[in-house]
Structure 1
């Protein structure tokens, strides 16, 4: 396969013994050594499986850490997602690109074709890691980054998982970059969200949160209908200069009319006012609620439209279709792949109608 046709070709080579070790227990995070050939370069890397429930899929997702050299194209590591449950294989990238379009900092992503020891593994989505290299690439100040790893990242004092009072305000988060002091900043942020009086909230929250960026992110979740988006599937970045938290989307394959299992999702399933404690408190403030409504209305007019999204969807689907036909896990489902543009465009039409009907809730 000629890697210059459309997609970069990633050739992964793993010692058969190490590969057996990797497959022996899919839940072990210990990496194994490998060699990656890409774009004429030979790279020594470590690989491991990534994700939670997705590890059970036949087509695995991987994390690749560069070993020699330590970085490739300015990154220490990248993620290779199989996008196994998404019949289109494009929803994650389509979502990240959409977030970028509406003014939300998002990971870069591109499709690649992966082979493992000479055997085709198929179309994958290479996703940029949200880390210090992510910040450097965007000329953003140094700062702490936390990953929201489960439903307890709901900005509440109450656990989303067991409905009990949290034993720690850091539940639901893993720190990716930061110090012990940054743990305290996160705890202070969540404490302020939950204890600041209604009268003081508008004035106080801007000390801790980039409100405009959060509202734009919120709109992105609402447009794409990422059901887990409000309590999961994001990273928090605390800007070292402004000392405000910002939010970065992550894991958006279950969107644009499909749920986490790839099943059809009703266009009205995710409510226009979202959910989680921080969102509820922001929308309780007249100015923020009006600002959020304005963001929705602007994008309903210009970005979240069939006319705007159709060429983007078509381009992504057309660019990977020849490679889907070579994907051992997807080539037998090419008819489903070809139908996905209809699913996504019908979702956009139905979601627009739902959101326009529900705008009154933001009056």
Structure 2
């Protein structure tokens, strides 16, 4: 009888454990996804300028500086905020921007790649395996890329870690850089439920995502970065859906992609899918659904100029070099290709000096492409040809214009950044611009705050219908107008934001509720990864099944134990 009570107590304990595990299972799943990866708060600490000290053999450094275009990888030791990691891969990075610095007689301010596990598998720093040090090329403010990633983050887009870093190499000051997390398996694991899907860096044939055919080998510019043995059938299915008609929500995180394009359009980032070069973005597929990931924003805020990227002040030959470089660039690197390599009086030509021009401020939100047509950008065209999707896209633009781009918010952000980085800019020995040019760019008559304020005014005027802008497409350069699709309203000015189809007010993103009543506001919580997803559900089902089997086994054991007790 005593033994029976022990068995009953054991069964009760198992039931209690089962209930407890089921109650805490969702939290356990999230913890598993982020366990050990604390680099976003340690390496990319935005409250300070991180110190990055790189040491390597003098001969190796000389070899790199003598042949920077070779991107030779050499062993180095990297110390970040006093924490040292040895035997780390170190090389130059970039394409045309790299070549631009190569041609400068007085600069060795290259962008750098730091790869912790290049020589030692699984070596990392707080979970981080690789990151870049970007040299803020063609950006006298040092802020374009940082602010762009901040907006993407606020819009709920999976965004690489980023913060300011002051770099020394072999004890010599190299200057103020922007550290940016590499988009690779570590990033995917930290931002998505499973992180084991197909990652692409499109750049070349097929990067416009136009339909070529069912043979993935024809899309030579899609550049698969993970799962090399993948049949890439999900990519073909997505390309088919956006080009030939299909259920977009089966192949695409539609709402997230609308937020992505709204942010990119507001930023007038034309060195991107929406411009002539159709690059500088990632596509990530998980469980057959694609997300678009942000990358390389030093030419945002109109820095790539209007009219498809031709730079005022640059010669025809220089612009030809820029265009040709896009065709011959190393597809294994991920750097803007739209900048013309040139020198002007011994210094870099400022190719972003005309960022406040009318074509940038009034960049079209209804046909948000430059030097191309919506037809030639089928992913964007498929979304904006749908009434409901287009309305959501307009809502998100309204939210950006009234919130992130507000003069109050932009002033506060740029002031905080200036307070943080100005002492480092002053002592930066390799900076591309003088301290006077930096001061003028950040507090003069034409700043990023001024750009944002005027851009916001234009966006709101376009949304209300008070301003109709002809897009800088092939049609505005002599070609025919782009086809927005079968929708009768496609290509028309957006409806007045004061009322929707049924008279209901169209609200900004922070006022629009989703189907479940949640508010996807401008607070960084919109569409965040790792919540309701099929991968987590599968894990839950598997673990639940195991626990149920254990519980059932215990009950069967108790049943037979009682029967044996009675026989005895």
* TM class by smaller structure: 0.7 to 0.9
Q: Does 1:297 align with 2:398?
A: yes
Q: 2:241 aligns with which of 192, 195, 207?
A: 192
1:351-362 mapped onto 2 (5 Å cutoff): 351-359=455-463, 360=465, 361-362=493-494
CA 149–73 in structure 1, closer or farther in 2 if over 3 Å, else same: farther
Query: CA–CA distance in 2 between the matches of 1:179 and 1:23?
Result: 33
Name the structure 2 match of 1:221: 264
Q: How far apart are 1:80 and its partner, in Å? A: 0.6
Query: CA–CA distance in 2 between the matches of 1:248 and 1:186?
Result: 15
Name the structure 2 match of 1:234: 281
Q: How far apart are 1:227 and its partner, in Å? A: 0.5
Asked if the contact 2:402/2:456 (under 8 Å) is kept, the reply is no
Structure 1: state its 5+ residue gaps. 159-165
Name the structure 2 match of 1:262: 352
Asked if the contact 2:146/2:162 (under 8 Å) is kept, the reply is yes
Query: CA–CA distance in 2 between the matches of 1:29 and 1:110?
Result: 24
Where 1:207 maps in the other structure, the secondary structure is helix
Asked if the contact 2:200/2:284 (under 8 Å) is kept, the reply is yes
Indicate the RMSD between aligned Cα atoms, in angstroms: 2.4
Query: CA–CA distance in 2 between the matches of 1:170 and 1:152?
Result: 5
Name the structure 2 match of 1:274: 368
Q: Report how many residues are paired.
A: 346
TM-score by length of 2: 0.57
Query: CA–CA distance in 2 between the matches of 1:22 and 1:344?
Result: 35
Q: How far apart are 1:186 and its partner, in Å? A: 1.7
Asked if the contact 1:267/1:351 (under 8 Å) is kept, the reply is no
Asked if the contact 1:214/1:247 (under 8 Å) is kept, the reply is yes
Asked if the contact 1:267/1:354 (under 8 Å) is kept, the reply is no
Query: CA–CA distance in 2 between the matches of 1:290 and 1:82?
Result: 38
Name the structure 1 match of 2:135: 82
Structure with greater strand percent? 1
Q: How far apart are 1:185 and its partner, in Å? A: 2.0
1:252-309 CA distances to partner (integer Å, 9 max, x unpaired)? 1112243353332235334313232211121111111111111112222222211122
Structure 2: state its 5+ residue gaps. 1-44, 102-106, 305-338, 340-350, 370-376, 466-492, 496-568
Q: How far apart are 1:156 and its partner, in Å? A: 1.4
TM-score by length of 1: 0.88
Query: CA–CA distance in 2 between the matches of 1:310 and 1:182?
Result: 48
309-318 or 218-227: bigger deviation:
309-318
Where 2:251 maps in the other structure, the secondary structure is coil
Name the structure 1 match of 2:114: 64
Query: Is the radius of gyration larger for structure 1 or structure 2?
Result: 2
1:5-154 mapped onto 2 (5 Å cutoff): 6-44=48-86, 45-56=88-99, 57=101, 58=107, 59-67=109-117, 70-142=123-195, 143-150=197-204, 152-154=206-208
Query: CA–CA distance in 2 between the matches of 1:339 and 1:285?
Result: 43
Name the structure 2 match of 1:250: 295
